[in-house]
Structure formats: structure tokens, C-alpha cells
Amino acid sequence: MKAEERWRARFRAPRMTLPQFAAKAPNRAIYQSNASGSWEIYAWDRSTGAFHQVTDRPNGTRYAVLDPVGQWIWWFADTDGNEWGQWMRQPFDGGPDENAISAVTSEDMVSGHPMGIGLSSVGTAAIGLARPGGGFQVLHVQPGEAPTVVYEHAEAAYVTAMSPDGALILIDHSEHGDALHPALRVIRPNGTTVGDLHDGPGKGLLGVRFSPIAGDRRLLALHERRGRREPLLWDPLTGDQREVWLRDPGEVTADWFQDGRSLLIVRQHRGRTRLHRYDLGGGGMTPIETPHGVIEAAAARHDGTVEYAWSNSSHPPMIRSSAGHVVMNPAGPSAPPSVPVEDLDVDGPGGRIHTLVSRPERGNAPYPTVFLLHGGPTAQDDDSFLPAVAAWVDHGFAVVRVNYRGSTGYGSAWRDALHGDVGHIELADLTAVREHVVAGGLADPERLVIAGGSWGGYLTLLALGVQPKTWAAGIAAVPIADHVATYEDETEGLRAYQRALLGGSPEDVPERYASSSPITYVDQVAAPVLVLAGENDPRCPIRQVQNYIARLAARGHDHEVYRFDAGHGSLVVAERIEQMAAQLDFARKRLRLTGMSGRPA
């Protein structure tokens, strides 16, 4: 297979998410797959092996959940990726879609931006919605009846779970004004509060779900009382708490085993994942053998086995079982492999920076190099299989991915370090890594490309303005270009996040919004720029991107714009390929590279 065909084949290869099974009907499951050409929802009857496609929409479907008894598949219907819409549902065995809140005639009451959903075994639901200027609501839905508003607040709130019997609803909220460090509240379907848990300033709590055992009111959450996220069991009726102490390093998430007596511990450390079973009775922790790499999701089955979605940088994704077999992969050719990733640790202004490096198989250092910045900022780069990284490598680029301050996976202090000088802190870490790889002979200082999507796109535009002599080209996908205009147009949930990150609204701290906004420095940009923007993006809205582009155009600066009819990224495979091709073509032309080796023309 030729190199050009190889990178496109990675995008086209069918992929799927970890199947989500019904707690009371474990042979019924749903998953998301790109097999149809866009990411859609599928139902899978494990007892017969039969599966069918549930949704079929021009721009794909992002959110879906299966109820605990396996009767209904709930999915969120937005318009062209704008993340505004309503919850629909379809019978598991197929049939017409219906509005999940069918007893309601007022569309205004059931439409909004999704803020979580919880489903019970008795058919009831708790739905979180956010609306511009209307704050956040939680609706309790009883089949055949009009929904009732059981929670409402101006600050961000998210429905995390509903108890199996429908008696309790778990909400992550930020009534205290800090959406970065939420608190927990458990309420009844009539809106009365059962329990509150708040760990104070700078220490968030994230709900996971209630115990799977009937009559057990304990819920599993994650706390960060010791500088990282760790499991916590909480009984909201009695107030009893139990912290699960873990010795191994790394960030931790957790879930229940179906017997309610053990926890599935998912530990992320230095861009890789390990699984363990923690016995709540004796406190012992048993490793679950998995291949070296990254586990995107994991779940414990009723027979005690664990299924997980796995990949590493050189091996395409697979759905595997701790029993030692492949559970299911979509039909079709698998993605061609890529190169393994290398770890690099660089001393930076805030501490050691973990960085991942992918080298091309051909050519010699120093290489043309793309610094590919992750979104979030509360996310991380890891050892998972990424077609975009492999595409750059196939074209002769080294790829450097920096887990700058603000990234998850390295403790609470590292994640929370952005307060004050947002954007510039991340770029200080980027500078330390860039200087290291240039001095070490990996990266050619005359052929450095900076690129990223979402928060990574934001950092790209900011870097082009405040470090104009450093970069040969910049590629920003769905970026924040102007924090003020973004705040005016984005969703309520992201406004709450932005207030927490920047210390207030644009009216409260205008100097911080200006200092952190790429548009402030747009007249200093020297490198050619490619901007990719979604017409219906609710997270990094199109207007503020247009404002930035207009400033570039006004001074005749070398730039290109790629606009696409979707939201914050596309769920359509062909569109993703076109966007990747546009980025590769832009970089090669601006750096005057030819062929797949990255050599000068």
C-alpha cells in the first residue's frame, strides 16, 4: 500500500466504541461505530450475534444511552452538530423514533444543550439541559406524564446517574461558583435534597454511579483530597464515606463490578493505562492483565470478566476481554499500523513535562516537525492509535505532543496550574520542549509547524501571535480566537467553565480575557495560517473565528480558511479525511516539502 493510500485507509477503517450493555439484560448492548461512513449508534444482541444500525443522520450522532432493562435506546438529536436538541428514543429491537418526553407539547421545555442523563430500571429518567440565559435544569421524566423540573440553578449542573430503582438522582454542580471543582448533590424525584458533598476550594468531586445492587444506596465518586483523583464511596442518606487508598502512581477512575463487592480501577500513568480489581471487603488490589497501551473505556461483566477498548500508537483499536479474546470488531479491513511512540521528559518552568514523540521511518533528523497540541485543556496526549498522528509521520514529519500544564493525568496541581495567565502558561511549557528537541537534533528549527484542535487550536493561534519568529506555519482547527466573543456565543456550560478558568466573566476581568486572547496579538502573526472552522460549532463559535480571519485579511496576511458544515469537529469519515488532506497540503506547500520524506523541494 502506498503511503498516500495508507494514511487515508486509517481514517476509513471501521472502528467502534466499547459496547455499553444493559445492567438487567447484559446480552443487550449498544455501541457507536463509523462503519456507515459517519459515527452512528448500533444495537447488538449478544445472545444471537445480530446487530443493526439505530441512527442514520447526515452529520452522525454523538450521544446515546441504553436503559438498564434493555428496552429503549435513548439518543440525542441535534441539528448539524450544534449540540442543541432533544432526547429521542427507539425500541431496542428497532422501530420508529419518538420524542423521549412524548407527553410534552412545549418544545422549549425539552430542548437545550445536553447536560447528562440518568435512566432507571422502572422507566423513569433524569435529564440535564442548559439554555442560553436560562441556566441549568434537571427534568424528571415519568412515561406518559409531563416532566417536572426538580433542580434549577444559574451555575453549571450535570446529571451523572440515577439509582436503579429511580429513587435518587446524582448531580454534579457548581453552585459555589467553581465549575472546575464541582460538588455533589443527591435529590429525590420530587426535588428534595437527600445529601450534599463538597470538599471545599480547589477540590472537586465527580460522580460515577450508584451501586448496582438493589437496596444499596452507596454511590461511587472520585475525590481529589490527596492531589489526584481517587475513588470514594458515599451513602447520601447516612453521610457515611469511605476513601479507597491506592499506592500506585497515576490518575485514577473507577467503576463497580456487578456484584457490588469490588471496584474496577482504571489507572492512567504516563500516557498508558492499567486495570485492577479492588476488593472492598479485604482491600486487596489484583492486576488485570492487558497489553501495553491505552484503554479508552472498560466495563465489568456479570461473570466477572472485564471488557475494554484498547490500542497503542502502532496498533489499531480493538475490543478485548480479560478472558483473553477479542469481543467484537466491526467488519472490514483494519487500519494499517504506524510507528511506536517515544517518551520524553523535559524540565520546564513549572516542573517536568511529559512529552510524546513519533518519528518518521524514513529520512534523517533533524526532521520537519509538527507540534500537535491537544484540546481540553483538561485532556492529555497518550499512547493511543491516532490516524492524524500517523498521517503526519507518513509525510516525513516528526510529531511532538506536549502534556503542558493544564493537562490531566499528572495530578490536580498540574491540571489546575492555568489560573491567572491562561494560554501563556501552556506556551511556556511548549517553549521548553521545543528548545529541547531542537537542541537535541530531532526538530529542524526552520521547519516547525504548530497545530491543534479546540484548545489546541486556541494555543496555536496564541503562539503564532506571541512567538511570531518561531513557527514556519500554523494550523488551528475549531479554535478559540477571541475569549470575549466566544463567551458571548458559547453554551452555558462552557461559560461557567470559562468563568472558573479566567476568574470571572469578561466584565469582571477584562484584562485577563484580553491578555489570553489570540486576537489581541493578531497583527504580530508572521507565519502562514490555516484555520478550520465548523459552521455550527457551539463550543468555539464561528463568529469569533470570522473576526480573527477578517483581521488577517485586512493586512493581507497569508492565510487559508476551511469551513465545514458541522459543529465542533465532524463525525463524518470523508469530511475528516478532507480536513486532514487540507492540513497536510498546507504544511507541505508552506514548508516547500515534496514527496513523503519531508525533504525540501
Percent of the chain with pLDDT over 90: 92
pLDDT grade for 544, boundaries at 50, 70 and 90: very high
pLDDT grade for 49, boundaries at 50, 70 and 90: very high
Same domain as 358, residue 277: no
Which of residues 294, 329, 364 is at a domain's end? Answer: 329
Please give the backbone phi and psi of residue 353, each rounded to the nearest 5 degrees, phi first: -105, 120
In a domain, 104, yes or no: no
Residue 247 has pLDDT above 70, yes or no: yes
If we measure between CA atoms, which residue out of 552, 366, 586, 593 comes closest to residue 473? 586
Same domain as 557, residue 484: yes
Q: Stretch 7-19: mean pLDDT, rounded?
A: 97
- Sequence-distant (6+) residues with CB within 8 A of 186 are 168, 169, 170, 171, 193, 194, 195, 196, 219, 236
Q: Stretch 534-551: mean pLDDT, rounded?
A: 97
Count of Cβ atoms closer than 10 Å to residue 333 Cβ:
9
- Determine the Cα–Cα distance for residues 528 and 392; give it in Å rounded to an integer: 18
Residue 601 has pLDDT above 80, yes or no: no
Residues pairing with 183 in the sheet: 173
Q: Stretch 28-34: mean pLDDT, rounded?
A: 98
Same domain as 552, residue 410: yes
Weakest mean pLDDT among 139-148, 303-312, 560-569: 139-148
Please count the CA atoms within 13 angstroms of the CA of 173 that sit on its side-chain side.
24
Q: Stretch 499-511: mean pLDDT, rounded?
A: 96
Residue 594 has pLDDT above 80, yes or no: no
Same domain as 417, residue 323: no
Cell of 280: 472492598
In a domain, 237, yes or no: no
3-class secondary-structure state, position 412? helix
3-class secondary-structure state, position 43? strand
Which DSSP string do the residues of 536-601 spell out, in sequence order? T-SSS-HHHHHHHHHHHHHTT--EEEEEESSBSB--BHHHHHHHHHHHHHHHHHHTTEETTTTEE-
Which of residues 329, 355, 376 is at a domain's end? Answer: 329
Same domain as 524, residue 421: yes
Q: Stretch 67-93: mean pLDDT, rounded?
A: 96
Residues pairing with 86 in the sheet: 77
Q: Stretch 145-157: mean pLDDT, rounded?
A: 95
pLDDT at res. 133: 86
What is the pTM (predicted TM-score) of this model?
Answer: 0.96
Q: Stretch 333-361: mean pLDDT, rounded?
A: 97
pLDDT at res. 2: 80
Same domain as 445, residue 500: yes
| Contact yes or no for 31/53 (Cβ under 8 A) | no
pLDDT grade for 41, boundaries at 50, 70 and 90: very high
In a domain, 51, yes or no: no
Residue 107 has pLDDT above 80, yes or no: no
In a domain, 286, yes or no: yes
Report pLDDT digits (tens) over 274-287.
999 999 999 999 99
Same domain as 321, residue 285: yes
Q: Burial level of 350, CB count in 10 A (0-12/13-18/19+)?
A: middle
- Sequence-distant (6+) residues with CB within 8 A of 183 are 172, 173, 174, 175, 176, 196, 197, 198, 199, 204, 205
Report pLDDT digits (tens) over 414-443.
999 998 799 999 999 999 999 999 999 999
pLDDT at res. 558: 97
Same domain as 453, residue 398: yes
Percent of the chain with pLDDT over 70: 98
In a domain, 174, yes or no: no
pLDDT at res. 143: 80
3-class secondary-structure state, position 435? helix
Which of residues 329, 362, 395 is at a domain's end? Answer: 329
pLDDT at res. 330: 86
Q: Please state the domain count of the chain.
A: 2
Same domain as 321, residue 376: no
Q: Stretch 215-235: mean pLDDT, rounded?
A: 96
In a domain, 383, yes or no: yes
Weakest mean pLDDT among 257-271, 487-501, 585-599: 585-599
CATH number for 346: 3.40.50.1820
Residue pointed to by grid coordinates 467503576: 255
pLDDT at res. 11: 97
Same domain as 570, residue 422: yes
Is 110 or 68 the better-scoring residue by pLDDT?
68
- Determine the Cα–Cα distance for residues 66 and 25; give it in Å rounded to an integer: 10
In a domain, 185, yes or no: no
What is the C-alpha end-to-end distance of the chain, expressed in Å? 24
Same domain as 368, residue 264: no
Length of the chain: 601
Same domain as 345, residue 325: no
In a domain, 8, yes or no: no
pLDDT at res. 104: 57
pLDDT at res. 271: 96
If we measure between CA atoms, which residue out of 286, 275, 270, 435 comes closest to residue 348? 435
- Sequence-distant (6+) residues with CB within 8 A of 447 are 367, 368, 369, 472, 591, 593, 598
Domain enclosing residue 288, as ranges: 246-329
Report pLDDT digits (tens) over 124-148.
999 999 998 889 999 999 987 889 9
